[in-house]
Amino acid sequence: MRLAKIDWVLGVVLAAMVVAVSACGSSSSSSSSAGLPSKIGTGEGQLNLVAWEGYTQPEWVKPYEAQTGCKVHAKYAGSSDEMVTLMRQGGGGQYDMVSASGDASLRLIRGGEVAAMNVALVPEWKNFIPQLQSPPHNTVDGKHYGISLQWGPNTLLYNTKSVTPAPTSWAAIYSAKYKGQVTVPANPIQIADAALYLSKTQPSLGISDPYELTEAQLNAAANLLKQQRPLIKKYWALASDEIELFKNGDATIGAAWPYQYSTLIADKEPVQQIIPSEGATGWADTWMLSAHAKDANCAYKWVNWVSSPKVQAEQAISYGETPVNTKACPYMEKIHKGSCGLYHANAPAAYFDSIKFWKTPVAECGNGQSDCMDYTKWQQKWTEVTG
């Protein structure tokens, strides 16, 4: 929704797991050792996706359907929690794939909801940026539980006419100056944004990783969000919710994704987005295959389609995010000159490493200690914040 810098301690737990892996339909043969498909068979005629809003736009879906005969049906989810729930309830029977971010992917792997995939059947995989070929949020014990897609930062979005002077810090969304005009995601992982802000403004708390919080650090982040609660106009569930809030003038500042900014700018709304001085959290998304997918051939055809340089470029510009395919830049420049640099597709590794990418909070802190609060504690705190 990764990461040369992310230290996943769940590896030990996941090493003992056996996740069911399905072959690509009756027309595909499987490799004997790994149980992975060795080729892509005839498409099943449909593909059912759980996706972030904006990930199944007609400009690349319709050509895929025409070429493969696989009709795409998408269910948009507003949060990683919703994606996990949908896949647990309807994976295989109802949904074939999910565009999971890093705060969902390991939960899906650990729960057995997703299957390992054969990257040898995805020719463009070799052209992915090194950090996202085998990242720890989707690759466990050498098994690839999905194919990386796009990545980007969570930004501070604001109305340039209403918010003056232009903000430079996340402090703006905690300021009483904008009471009733603030909007942030309806998502427990939003706690990490508060923790990142506190790591810079209250260093005495000792927060070094916004996803690895002790009880005291989690309480501090939750308390900041509780203070923010009276300022909130609405916690948005879908990107389109926030877009409408800004268009209607109900919100003038908030936490957003580049997609909202791109959409609002295209509609000539007076908005700007920044990565504030404290830095930003972010996402790196993966198309993951249900362990019981009925349309696995169409699924492999889909990941090949969306990982191609041209479609990577189309999605990157449409959404305002960064492609994983290093060959996408020339296509981006053809669509919109300067977009390769604008969306950091040619940025050095240091830019990627500067973003604190979403990951699932666990008890192990990555420093030999086990006193961090796991995701269930985050969910409990978020409920306390939002009521």
* 313-325 per-position pLDDT tens digit: 999 999 989 999 9
Is pLDDT above 70 for 352?
A: yes
Report the alpha-carbon angle 70-307-85, nearest 5: 70
Q: Does residue 144 sit in the same domain as residue 181?
A: no
Q: Does residue 124 sit in the same domain as residue 34?
A: yes
Domain contains 355: no
pLDDT score for 9: 31
Interatomic CA distance for residues 193 and 197, integer angstroms: 6
Crossing angle of helices 102-110 and 80-90, in 10° steps, is 30
Q: Does residue 228 sit in the same domain as residue 271?
A: yes
pLDDT score for 92: 73
Q: Does residue 236 sit in the same domain as residue 379?
A: yes
Model confidence, pTM: 0.82
Domain contains 313: yes
Other Cβ atoms less than 10 A from the Cβ of 366: the count is: 15
pLDDT range class, residue 21, cuts 50, 70, 90: very low
Interatomic CA distance for residues 278 and 149, integer angstroms: 26
Name the residue range of residue 376's domain.
155-279+360-386
pLDDT score for 95: 97
Domain contains 293: yes
Q: Does residue 52 sit in the same domain as residue 117?
A: yes
Q: Does residue 182 sit in the same domain as residue 227?
A: yes
Q: Does residue 145 sit in the same domain as residue 159?
A: no
Structure-model confidence comparison of residues 26 and 364, the more confident one: 364
Q: Does residue 293 sit in the same domain as residue 275?
A: no
Q: Does residue 159 sit in the same domain as residue 41?
A: no
Interatomic CA distance for residues 321 and 2, integer angstroms: 14
The count of domains in the chain is 2
Q: Does residue 192 sit in the same domain as residue 268?
A: yes
Q: Does residue 160 sit in the same domain as residue 261?
A: yes
* 20-34, 180-194, 197-211, 365-379: least confidently modelled range: 20-34
Domain contains 353: no
